[in-house]
């Protein structure tokens, strides 16, 4: 992933990123085993670059961050959770096109 995409290695690191965020956070829940996630990775990277400092993007491995995965009700990968000040403002399940992900973000940022 690009430099604008954070990749927490454990639940505590995920929570730290959320606690320090002063704006919206897009949590992209993924699994290494998922072909759909492999297709989503470049789209998420492009979105992170496009939105720049307006959005913090966090690529979250559902097996390494099980508490975060459970907390946000994620049951499969890929999944997207938009969080602002600790509150979920939007969610999306399954693979999305670049346009669909932009629509989700633009309607909720």
**Per-residue model confidence as pLDDT tens digits over 31-44:** 999 999 999 999 99
pTM of full prediction above 0.75: yes
Residue tagged 């759909």 (tokens): 36
In this prediction, residue 3 carries a pLDDT of 60
What domains can be seen in the chain, in order of their start residue?
Answer: 5-108 (3.40.30.10)
The residues with which 87 forms a beta bridge, in sequence order, are: 84
First to last CA, the chain: 22
Q: pLDDT tens across 43-96, in order?
A: 999 999 999 999 999 999 999 999 999 999 999 999 999 999 999 999 999 999
| Beta carbons within 10 angstroms of residue 16's beta carbon | 13
pLDDT band with cut points at 50, 70 and 90 for residue 8: confident
In this prediction, residue 1 carries a pLDDT of 45
């Amino acid at each position: 992933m690009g430099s604008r995409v954070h990749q927490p290695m454990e639940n505590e690191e995920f929570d730290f990123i959320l606690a320090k965020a002063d704006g919206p956070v897009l949590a992209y829940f993924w699994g290494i085993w998922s072909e759909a996630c492999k297709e989503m990775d470049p789209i998420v990277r492009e979105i992170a670059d496009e939105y720049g400092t307006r959005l913090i993007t966090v690529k979250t491995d559902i097996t390494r961050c099980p508490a975060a995965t459970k907390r946000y009700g994620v049951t499969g990968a890929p999944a997207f959770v938009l969080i602002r000040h600790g509150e979920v403002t939007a969610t999306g399940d399954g693979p999305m096109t670049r346009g669909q992900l932009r629509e989700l973000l633009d309607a909720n940022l």
